[in-house]
Amino acid sequence: MQIGLVGLSNSGKTTLFQLLTGTKESSYAPGKANRGIFKVPDSRVDYLSSMFKPKKTTHATLEAIDIPGLIPGADKSTVSFLTSVRESDVLVHVIQDFDNPEAPHLEGTLDPLRDLELVTYELLLADLDQIEKRLERMKKGKPGKDHDTELALLAKCREAIEGEKLISSLSVSPQEEPFMHNYRFLTAKPYVVVVNLDENRIADSDSYSSAPISIYCKQHDIPLLFLSARIESEISQLDGSDRQIFLEELGIKESGLVLVSRLVYTRLGLISFFTVGEDEVKAWTITGGTTAREAAGKIHSDIERGFIRAEVIEYKDFLQAGSMAAARNEGTFRLEGKEYIVKDGDIVHFRFNV
């Protein structure tokens, strides 16, 4: 799963990238995307590892892409920006709300809502251009069996864009879904906004609920969080105990790494289930609504094909019981069939035969 970090130049994207991936110095090359894998923090994995003491502990991972900063009006910048955006599964829009004398804001002033609209405008223009080109090709080509369905969908998308609405706000029918999937419209991608603050303002982030950008995001159902990427990136390099002390002194209840990961998981509808044992404790990422048999296929296709039953215990029940044996005695360890919907936090052992 790829997280595209987008925003105007000097917004702090690269600093957030360093915070997420744990890198001290970015190998960022101007005009090119920088990539890095990071572990998704999960205290449940840590607890299970402390209980089973496995040879290996594996957290879920995500890939961050530090997309070159957008410079409005610069054609080369825009092309590189849009190309990298198209590869991403979810967009995290980083917005500058801190003073930087060495690199002043491109627009001369700080205005998070304006910056959000600037980037959104570029995405809308790219989608509109794609729609117009497709409509032109359809005029010249021979109509296919689903010609009318596609034409109506494109018209609906163009109308939304001309009204400055994201394509993600549209309702799509089952007949239209295959076309929408193939288009990969930029404004159809899941979207999250991160406002990057000065460190001396992070303790007051709760007061931003009445800020224009907060009101806008609430109206448009866009997840929003506030953090200071620079100070958190510096703190993340400290030892665990020192790190927690500094976070508490700044009034930071949870790190940006935890908040961004959680927001992305929620926005994409992702959950985690766990497999445990002496060899490995591992978190597996699936989409909410996945059946037990489909989840088994996440581990290996042979397990999905030969699926018999799933032995399941919810994490909270295991936490209360303290061991698998106690959970069995309490009746919270159960057998489930192939159509069972795996829940976030389920600890699962699959029975299979191939």
Q: What is the pLDDT of residues 325-338, one digit of tens each?
A: 898 898 898 999 99
Sheet holding 334-336, edge to edge: 56-58, 280-287, 270-275, 346-352, 307-314, 334-336
Say whether pLDDT at 287 is over 80: yes
pTM of the entire structure? Answer: 0.87
Contact criterion met (CB below 8 Å) for 231 and 250: yes
Contact criterion met (CB below 8 Å) for 351 and 311: yes
Distance CA 275, CA 266 (A): 22
CA dihedral defined by 194, 196, 199, 201, rounded to 10 degrees?
Answer: -80
289-352 CATH: 3.10.20.30
Closest CA to 295 of 347, 353, 354: 347
Distance CA 185, CA 130 (A): 8
Residue range 141-154: average pLDDT? 86
Say whether pLDDT at 209 is over 80: no
- Per-residue pLDDT tens for 173-191? 999 999 998 998 999 999 9
Distance CA 20, CA 14 (A): 10
Say whether pLDDT at 202 is over 80: no
CATH of 121-188, one of 1.10.1660.10, 3.90.850.10, 3.90.79.10, 1.10.150.300: 1.10.150.300
Angle at 244 between CA 242 and CA 246, to 5 degrees: 70
- Per-residue pLDDT tens for 39-92? 999 999 999 999 999 999 999 999 999 988 887 766 666 777 777 788 899 999
- Ordered by start, the domain boundaries in the chain are 2-41+59-109+190-267, 121-188, 289-352
Closest CA to 69 of 105, 100, 101: 105
Which homologous superfamily is 2-41+59-109+190-267 in?
Answer: P-loop containing nucleotide triphosphate hydrolases (3.40.50.300)
The band of 23, judged by pLDDT with boundaries at 50, 70 and 90, is: confident
Strands 90-97 and 2-6: parallel
